[in-house]
Amino acid sequence: MVAAARTRLSPEDRRAQLLAIGVRTLDDHSIEHLSFDRLSREAGVSRPLLFHYFGSRQGLRTEVVRLARDSMLHATAPDLTLPPLERLHDTLQRLVRFVHEHGGTFYSLVRGAASGDPEVRDAVDAAREVHTERVVAVFTELGHPDSEVLRLALRGWVALAEQMLVDAVGRLPDDEVVALMETSARAVVDALPPQRSKSSRLSQANR
Q: Which residues bind a second copy (CB under 8 A)?
A: 30-32, 110-116, 148-149, 152-153, 155-164, 167-168, 170-174, 176, 179-180, 183-184, 186-188, 190-193, 201-202, 204-207
Cβ closer to a second copy: 34 or 50?
34
Identify the three-state secondary structure at position 169: strand
Give the amino acid at 94.
Answer: R
DSSP 205: -
Cβ closer to a second copy: 7 or 183?
183
For 60, residues 6+ apart whose C-beta sits below 8 A from its C-beta are 22, 34, 36, 39, 50, 54
Shortest distance (Å) from residue 17 CB to a second copy:
26
- Quote the strand ranges of the chain, DSSP E: none
Integer Cα distance of 43 and 53 in angstroms: 13
Residues in the chain: 207
Concatenating the DSSP letter of every residue in 143-160 gives T----HHHHHHHHHHHHH
Shortest distance (Å) from residue 97 CB to a second copy:
12
Cβ closer to a second copy: 163 or 197?
163
Shortest distance (Å) from residue 111 CB to a second copy:
4
Shortest distance (Å) from residue 5 CB to a second copy:
29
Q: How far, in whole angstroms, is CA 108 from its chain's centroid?
A: 9
Q: Are 110 and 65 within 8 A, CB to CB?
A: no
Q: How far, in whole angstroms, is CA 50 from its chain's centroid?
A: 25
Shortest distance (Å) from residue 64 CB to a second copy:
14
Identify the three-state secondary structure at position 172: strand
Cβ closer to a second copy: 74 or 207?
207
Cβ closer to a second copy: 98 or 157?
157
Cβ closer to a second copy: 67 or 110?
110
Shortest distance (Å) from residue 154 CB to a second copy:
10
- Beta-bridge mates of residue 172: 169
